[in-house]
Structure 1
Amino acid sequence: MAARLGFEVTVHMSADARQWKKDQLRAQGVDVKEYASDYSLAVAEGRRQAESDAQCYFIDDENSTNLFLGYAVAACRLQAQLAQAGVVVDATHPLFVYLPCGVGGGPGGVAFGLKLMFGDAVHCIFAEPTHSPCMLLGVYTGLHDAVCVQDFGIDNVTAADGLAVGRPSGFVGKAMQRLIDGYITVADDELYALLALLYQTEGRQLEPSAIAGAPGMVHVLSDVATAYRARLGLPSAHMQQATHLVWATGGSMVPKDEMKAYITKGAMILRR
Structure 2
Amino acid sequence: MTDFIIRARAAEQAMRDVFPVTPLQRNAMLSDRFGADIWLKREDLSPVRSYKIRGAYNAMRKQPDQDLFVCASAGNHAQGVAFMCRHLGVKGVIFMPVTTPQQKIQKTRMFGGDQIEIHLIGDYFDDTLAAAQTWCAEKGGHFLSPFDDADVIEGQASVAVEIEQQLGRAPDNVILPVGGGGMSSGVTTWFGDRTHCLFVEPAGGACLRAALAAGHPVSLDHVDTFVDGAAVGRIGEQPFDLLKNRHLSDVMVLSEDRICVTMIEMLNVEGIVLEPAGALSVAAIENVQSFVRGRTVVCVTSGGNFDFERLPEVKERAQRCLGVKKYFILRLPQRPGALKEFLGILGPEDDIARFEYMKKSARNFGSVLIGLETSKPENFVRLFAHLDDAGFTYTDITNDETLAQFVI
Band of TM-score, shorter chain: 0.7 to 0.9
Aligned residue for 1:212, secondary structure, equals: helix
| Unpaired stretches in structure 1, ≥5 consecutive residues | 223-228, 230-238
What residue is the counterpart of 2:190 in the other structure?
113
What residue is the counterpart of 1:170 in the other structure?
237
What residue is the counterpart of 2:167 in the other structure?
82
What residue is the counterpart of 1:51 in the other structure?
137
| Unpaired stretches in structure 2, ≥5 consecutive residues | 1-82, 326-408
Aligned residue for 2:167, secondary structure, equals: helix
What residue is the counterpart of 1:233 in the other structure?
none
1:97 aligns with 2:174: yes
The alignment yields a C-alpha RMSD, in angstroms, of 2.4
Q: Which runs of 4+ in 1 moved over 6 A?
A: none
How many residue pairs match? The answer is 236
Deviation at 1:31, TM superposition (A): 1.6
Deviation at 1:160, TM superposition (A): 0.7
Letter in 2 for 1:148: S
Deviations along 1:138-194, whole A, 9 cap, x unmatched? 1211121xx2110xxxx2113210111111112211222225662111111111111
What residue is the counterpart of 1:207 in the other structure?
275
Deviations along 1:71-118, whole A, 9 cap, x unmatched? 1111111001111xxxx64xxxx6111111111112221222222xxx
2-side partners of 1:267 and 1:135: how far apart? Answer: 25
What residue is the counterpart of 2:349 in the other structure?
none
Matches within 5 A, 1:23-38: 23-27=106-110, 28-29=113-114, 30-38=116-124
More strand per residue: 2
Aligned residue for 1:99, secondary structure, equals: strand
Over the matched positions of the two proteins, sequence identity in percent amounts to 22
What residue is the counterpart of 1:70 in the other structure?
155
Matches within 5 A, 1:1-272: 1-5=83-87, 6-27=89-110, 28-29=113-114, 30-54=116-140, 56-83=141-168, 89=170, 95-115=172-192, 120-144=193-217, 147-150=218-221, 155-179=222-246, 182-222=250-290, 240-251=293-304, 253-255=305-307, 257-258=308-309, 260-261=311-312, 264-265=315-316, 268-269=319-320, 270=322, 271-272=324-325
| Equivalent pair of 2:121/2:131 in contact (CA under 8 Å) | no
- C-alpha change, 1:131 and 1:166, in structure 2 (3 Å) is same
Aligned residue for 2:91, secondary structure, equals: coil
| Equivalent pair of 2:254/2:284 in contact (CA under 8 Å) | no
Normalising by structure 2, we get a TM-score of 0.53
- C-alpha change, 1:243 and 1:65, in structure 2 (3 Å) is same
Deviations along 1:240-260, whole A, 9 cap, x unmatched? 541122111211x435x3375
| Equivalent pair of 1:196/1:262 in contact (CA under 8 Å) | no
Q: Relative contact order (alpha carbons < 8 A, sep ≥ 6): 1 or 2 greater?
A: 1
Normalising by structure 1, we get a TM-score of 0.77
1-side partners of 2:251 and 2:238: how far apart? Answer: 18
Aligned residue for 2:142, secondary structure, equals: coil
Letter in 2 for 1:201: V
What residue is the counterpart of 1:226 in the other structure?
none
Deviation at 1:44, TM superposition (A): 2.6
What residue is the counterpart of 2:3 in the other structure?
none
- C-alpha change, 1:97 and 1:45, in structure 2 (3 Å) is same
What residue is the counterpart of 1:234 in the other structure?
none
1-side partners of 2:95 and 2:183: how far apart? Answer: 17
